[in-house]
Structure formats: structure tokens, C-alpha cells
Amino acid sequence: MSDRDAGRTRSPGGGEAGGEQAHASDSLERLERLRDAVSECDRELIEILSRRRGLVRELGAVKARMGIPVTDPQREAVVVRRAAEMARAAGLDEELIRNLIWRIMSSARVQQHTPTGEEKPQASS
């Protein structure tokens, strides 16, 4: 028996039990690496949303000084269309991205309307 075969035993069905265990171990390691990568993406999304919130607050202050209304439906439509086009190009669900962008912009309006820019918690539905 070679060193390579030393940790393997034949299963009743004729397969090598050691090989199945190694495959399961590799799969579990891969699963953990993928979960870690998803967590890192989530962290990056939160960081990007936080940076966007800061920009939105600054926009609100500039609009207030200029006497410009916070809500600009034409601009919002352009932003949503552009996001949908980017989603399509990336192979993402356009409707999901449209909904996400509308929710983000809705939150931004709340932040621009409040003096502190703080978002009030919304009841979940």
C-alpha cells in the first residue's frame, strides 16, 4: 500500500471513504471561504452606502443654500434608468436594482429633509 492510499479505506459500495472525506473537507473549506467573501461584500456595501449618505447630506445642504427643492423627479428617473442599464450590463435583475435604488433615494430624501440628516427608523412590512 502506498503512502497515498494509507488513509483510505474501501467503503461497502466499493468507493474510497478517505477520498469522500477529503472531498467533503475541501467543500466545507470552500463554503467557508465563499461565506467570508460574501461577508466582505456586505461590509463593502455598507461602506459605500455610508459614503453615499455623506454625499447626500452635503447635497441637501447645498440645495438648502441655493433654495432648490430636495425632490427632483426627473433627476431621480435618470438615476434609476442608469442603474437599470448598469444592472442589465452586469447580468443582474433590473427590477431588483430599480427597487433598491428607489429605496436608497427615498432614504436620502428623508436625510435631506431633516436638519441633522439622521434617518428615522422605518417600520418593516
Phi and psi dihedrals of 10, rounded to 5?
A: -80, 130
CATH of 14-113, one of 1.20.59.10, 3.40.50.2300, 2.120.10.30, 3.30.1330.10: 1.20.59.10
Distance between CA atoms of residues 94 and 85, nearest Å = 8
Name the residue type at position 55: L
Q: State the Cα torsion 13-16-18-23 to the nearest 10°.
A: -90
Q: Can you give the pLDDT at residue 29?
A: 95
Question: pLDDT under 50 in the chain at which residues?
Answer: 1-14, 117, 119-125
Q: Can you give the pLDDT at residue 59?
A: 87
Exposure letters 96-125 (e unless 16+ CB within 10 A, then b): ebeeebeeebebbeebbeeeebeeeeeeee
The domain locations on the chain are 14-113
Q: Can you give the pLDDT at residue 25?
A: 86
Q: Can you give the pLDDT at residue 81?
A: 97
Cβ-Cβ contacts under 8 Å for 125 (sequence gap 6 or more): none
Q: Can you give the pLDDT at residue 8?
A: 44
